[in-house]
Amino acid sequence: MKRRTFLKDLAIGSLLANLPFSWGFSKGKETQGGPVPKRELANKGDMLSMIGFGGILLNENGQKFANETIARAVDAGINYFDVAPTYGNAQDLMGPALEPYRKDCFLACKTGKWDKNEAEEELHGSLKALKTDHFDLYQLHAISSKEDVDKAFAPNGAMELFEKAKKEGKIRYIGFSAHSQEAALYAMDQYDFDTILFPLNFVCWYHGDFGPKAYEKAKEKNMGILALKSMAKTRLDKGEDKLYKNIWYRPVENTSLSYQALRFTLSKDITAAIPPGDSKFLFRAIEHANNYKALTQEEDNYLQEVAGRTAPIFKA
């Protein structure tokens, strides 16, 4: 199909008549009780908005922006928020802005410290900054190698802190995020994590073979699957300045293509996807979610075509 013809068909909605292309989507519960539909986190009973709020978008944007953006997101039906201490001053801005809504939200945080004492210090700092007494999900942040995993699981490693904090009620679920498929697979061999936060992106999937193995293993283990980079396209050119201060890659700018890219990810058996780190993409993703339909085979074929001529941000 020619691109121009495809986009014209998408605009008039004729493709919605096609049968959905099934990847085992929505095996768990799903609700339409609000502007953004919610999906169950694995079989745990928690219902999360299928679009998550990536806290990095708050970094260096001021408290007024944080207050207004989080209020708008909550009004739109967002209840899943994710942040990390490495996201500049995002935690400090999110804490006061989210506080009025905290009891109705699923709040996830992370640590990149592999030592138990350092991880505990970071956990307590995050709890204080975010004005909460617990996290619904606490994650090993951005594991990139088997060595990272081994350090976290070593004696006096971060995982000892995770288990302790869970017993004390400071965290409910234990998960990890990764940008390495090898490290993700290795981590899942070591422990029954509740969740994985991982890039599930059409270009990486089709042109980098990055995503399928981690996704399938997480499904086999009945983990909650949370997606990153669904609306990412490719890396910036060498020496090229960031297009958005809190996004290190080139996101999908075209609205029609971003709609399909997000649906590629949401059509899989996942709970939620976190858009790129700018409010423009958060609210675009919310709009896309309001009009969500499972991806069709014809649309998937088109995404494979686009992926074939695009450099992925990650490769296996």
pLDDT digits (tens, 9 = 90+) for 78-117: 999 999 999 999 999 999 999 999 999 999 999 999 999 9
Measured CA to CA, the distance from residue 204 to residue 236 in angstroms comes to: 15
User: What is the 8-class DSSP label of residue 17?
Assistant: G
Bridge partners (DSSP) of residue 225 are 196
- Would you say residue 1 has pLDDT above 70? no
- Crossing angle for the helix pair 181-190 and 146-153, to the nearest 10 degrees: 30
Residues 282 and 251: beta-carbon distance below 8 Å = no
| Residues 138-165 pLDDT 10s | 999 999 999 999 999 999 999 999 999 9
Instruction: Provide CB contacts within 8 A for 176, sequence distance 6+.
Output: 139, 140, 141, 143, 184, 187, 193, 195, 196, 197
β-strand 249-251 against 224-228: which pairing, if any?
unpaired
User: What are the residue boundaries of the structural domains of the chain, listed by start?
Assistant: 25-232+240-308
Classify domain 25-232+240-308 at the CATH topology level.
Answer: TIM Barrel (3.20.20)
| Residues 2-17 pLDDT 10s | 334 333 333 333 332 2
Q: Which own/partner pairs from 32-36 qualify as long-range (CB within 8 Å, at least 24 positions apart)?
A: 34/77, 35/76, 35/77, 35/286, 35/290, 36/76, 36/77, 36/78, 36/286, 36/289, 36/290
Asked which of 33-47, 150-164, 198-212, 244-258 is least confident by mean pLDDT, the reply is: 33-47
The residue among 290, 277, 243, 218 whose CA lies nearest residue 35 is 290
H-helix or E-strand containing 162? helix 158-167
- Crossing angle for the helix pair 90-98 and 63-75, to the nearest 10 degrees: 50
Query: 261 by DSSP, 3-state: which?
Result: helix
| Residues 32-75 pLDDT 10s | 545 899 999 998 999 999 999 999 999 999 999 999 999 999 99
Find the DSSP H helices in 13-157. 63-75, 90-98, 116-129, 146-153
